[in-house]
Copies of this chain bind each other. A is one copy, B any other.
Amino acid sequence: MFVLRGVYAPIPTPFVQGEISFEKLKSNIRYWAGTDLEGLVVLGSNGEAPLLDFKEKTALISHVREYLPENKKVIAGTGCESARETLKLSKAAADEGADAVLVINPNYYKSEMKDENLKAFYIEVAEKSQLPVILYNMPRNTGVNLSSELVVDLSYHQNIIGIKDSSGNIAQMSEIAAFSKQGFVLFAGSASFLLPSLLMGATGGTLAAANIAPGACCEIIRLFNTGDFEGARKMQQQILPVNKAVTSGFGVAGLKAAMDMLGLYGGEPRLPLLPLTQEKRVRLREILINAQVLKEG
């Protein structure tokens, strides 16, 4: 049975001349496979999932599973605006060998996304998905927040096993950890609040920064588990500027540029995302060097 824990990297999708390059994907995965990452998330926000079509999505899940050693897990982002499409993609994820699905809430019809709508959506998906369902709360992108009351309620469905919360609202995350069903997993959605999340009951996280600094992310958990809170805090503080740069600071284009600097393949994002400007690259490099993620020179 699948257990959600440890650090996952929500991997970017490598494009060469606008098309997915499975070769680049393979070589990136070779790097991640050699780290302490528990697994990879394919088709997350960092994977530009909203910019891919169904066929590309399915092919990505398939290739990630193929390239990644069996001891590493694969979570597929399958949330779409309709329950119907979400289920279709979740079925494909199951067929391609993913371990679980990560389902962002629908959000286009914002003012109608009441708790009852979101509940009906998630129950429908959980009922019919072969794979265990992980909720995904990302209000900065969706403009909708999954309240702790809703999440606690949904935690009692047997096929909903956890939540990736990217809100950064630690009170909300604490409520989820405290009041959800025994065994329901809280996962930090960003490295910027990994340590406080662990303290309040999270068991790991899906962290953009884990793409480029998997060691540091895993080390925070290790130090926390061994009771070295001072060391964990130092590591957490060190990762803050790096994490900001590759998330809210410079976005997916920033994450991709950082990967390029580190010898992985990042490349360019798809329109409407734009490649990082030269000026921002200079600032990004400085941040990476200061945090010792990148060696000077």
A110 touches B141 (CB 8 A): yes
Given contacts A195-B199, A200-B196, contact A84 B251 (CB under 8 A): no
Chain B residues whose C-beta falls within 8 Å of the C-beta of A83 in the assembled complex: 270-272
- A95-141 residues with Cβ-Cβ distance < 8 A to B are 105-106, 108-113, 116-118, 120-121, 124, 140-141
B201 touches A82 (CB 8 A): no
Q: Is the interface of A mostly helix, strand, loop or mixed?
A: helix
Residue of B nearest to A232 (CB): B199
Residue of B nearest to A18 (CB): B84
B18 touches A248 (CB 8 A): no
Q: Complex formed: what's the CA distance from A272 to B81 in Å?
A: 8
B193 touches A111 (CB 8 A): no
The complex is assembled from copies of this chain, and their number is 4
A143 touches B143 (CB 8 A): yes
Chain B residues whose C-beta falls within 8 Å of the C-beta of A118 in the assembled complex: 272
7 closest cross-chain pairs (CB), A and B: A196-B196, A171-B192, A51-B82, A121-B272, A178-B237, A170-B170, A50-B81
Residues of A within 8 A of B (CB): 18, 45, 50-54, 81-85, 88, 105-106, 108-113, 116-118, 120-121, 124, 140-143, 168-172, 174-175, 177-178, 190, 192-193, 195-197, 199-201, 229, 233, 236-237, 240, 244, 248, 251-253, 270-274
